Amino acid sequence: MDKEIKAVANEFHTPTKAIVRKKIKFSSILTYTVLGIWAAVNIFPLYWMFTFSLKSNKEIFGDNIIGLPKEWLFSNYKNALTKGNMALYMLNSAIVTGITIILTLIIASMATYALTRLVWKGRKTVNNIIMLGLTIPIHAAILPVYLILDKLKMLNSYQALIIPYTAFGLAMSIMICNGFIVNIPKELDEAACIDGCSVYGIFFRIILPLMKPALSTVAIFTFLSCWNELMFANILIDDAKYRTISVGIQTLSGTHTTEWGPIGAALVIATFPTLILYSFMSTKIQKSLTAGAVKG
């Protein structure tokens, strides 16, 4: 009799497996629905830009703004690369961005090691001065930078962009590397020193390999800031031979009439390297951003 009473009580007081399964299923459906809507909202601009690049002016300003092109004009990409000189502008951007990334990674990694691991007089003061660079907007210094480069006869050259981009990117890069390197145990340095490693050996053999996630983050942030920068590239470069892709897209706009399809194609071409870079380096960036969040 007691067993029957307990069984009846359990039926009234504990949810059945079917109810639990329905709740879990409903929760999963709701979660995936919200995530699906959020993904669609974020992907839609890419879809619109791609379809925009394959349309004529008539379709873009007509009744087919969002839909797929009625006539797929792949010639827009050909016109952007040849008539619009986007191939040259993209090469210039690749040269400027690539050299800037290399210089930033070398200087930032070495400076961070010196500021965090080596003991020398005035290192905190130097670190504070470098961090002050975070408070200065890059475009607020356009006039003195222009005058300095003009005195040095560096305008209309790759150096006119590489030097300012590297200088203004160091503060953020050192801060990112600093947040990562402080979590590397100093016992590794001491053990390497006992084994006969010099300061340079400790840096290149121990510290630098462990800093790959942080350096990946620095690389992609530097890439985005250089690849998309417009103000410096527009003011410091007048010669079409050294124009970057951000300035080159502006030149596709005509004085009286504008073909918007090739402009859309140029935007797709300019966006594509960013998507490729992030797809290859996203895992290392996530590791860098979460480094030090959990200790133990």
Burial classification of residue 82, based on how many CB atoms lie within 10 Å of its CB (0-12 exposed, 13-18 middle, 19 or more buried) = exposed
Q: How far apart are CA 254 and CA 82, in angstroms?
A: 16
Residues 158 and 254 occupy one common structural domain: yes
Task: Encode burial over 223-245: b for 16+ CB neighbours within 10 A, e otherwise.
Answer: bebbbbbeebbebbbeeeebbbb
Tell me the three state secondary structure of residue 132: helix
pTM of the model: 0.80
Residues 89 and 194 occupy one common structural domain: yes
Q: What is the pLDDT of residue 21?
A: 63
Angle at alpha carbon of residue 190, lines to 186 and 193, rounded to 5°: 140
Q: How far apart are CA 146 and CA 233, in angstroms?
A: 11
Residues 85 and 211 occupy one common structural domain: yes
Residue 169 lies in a domain: yes
Q: How far apart are CA 222 and CA 226, in angstroms?
A: 6
Which residues are CB-neighbours of 281 under 8 A, at least 6 positions away? 216, 219, 220
Task: Encode burial over 39-63: b for 16+ CB neighbours within 10 A, e otherwise.
Answer: eeeeeeeeeeebbbbbbbeebbeee
Residue 235 lies in a domain: yes
Residues 138 and 273 occupy one common structural domain: yes
Residues 46 and 104 occupy one common structural domain: no
Q: What percent of the chain has pLDDT over 70?
A: 85
Q: What crossing angle do the helices spanning 123-131 and 159-181 adopt, rounded to 10°?
A: 120
Please report the sign of the dihedral spanned by the C-alpha atoms of residue 290, residue 296, residue 115, residue 190.
Answer: negative
Residues 107 and 233 occupy one common structural domain: yes
pLDDT tens, residue by residue, 151-205: 999 999 999 999 999 999 999 999 989 888 888 888 888 888 888 888 888 888 8
Residues 109 and 13 occupy one common structural domain: no
Q: What is the pLDDT of residue 286?
A: 65
Question: DSSP label at 63?
Answer: T
Residue 59 lies in a domain: no
Residues 252 and 207 occupy one common structural domain: yes
Q: How far apart are CA 292 and CA 284, in angstroms?
A: 14
Residue 222 lies in a domain: yes
Residues 29 and 154 occupy one common structural domain: no
Residue 260 lies in a domain: yes
pLDDT tens, residue by residue, 13-43: 555 555 656 666 777 788 888 889 998 888 8
pLDDT tens, residue by residue, 92-127: 999 999 999 999 999 999 999 999 888 888 888 988
Residues 47 and 85 occupy one common structural domain: no
Residues 30 and 81 occupy one common structural domain: no
Residues 22 and 91 occupy one common structural domain: no
Say how many domains are in the chain. 2
CATH code: domain of residue 177 = 1.10.3720.10
Residue 60 lies in a domain: no
What backbone torsions phi and psi does residue 202 show, to the nearest 5 degrees? -65, -40
Structural domain span for residue 35: 2-52
Residue 65 lies in a domain: no
Residue 68 lies in a domain: no
Q: How far apart are CA 251 and CA 253, in angstroms?
A: 5
- Per-residue DSSP letters for 211-231? THHHHHHHHHHHHHHHHT--H
C-beta separation of 138 from 166 below 8 A: no
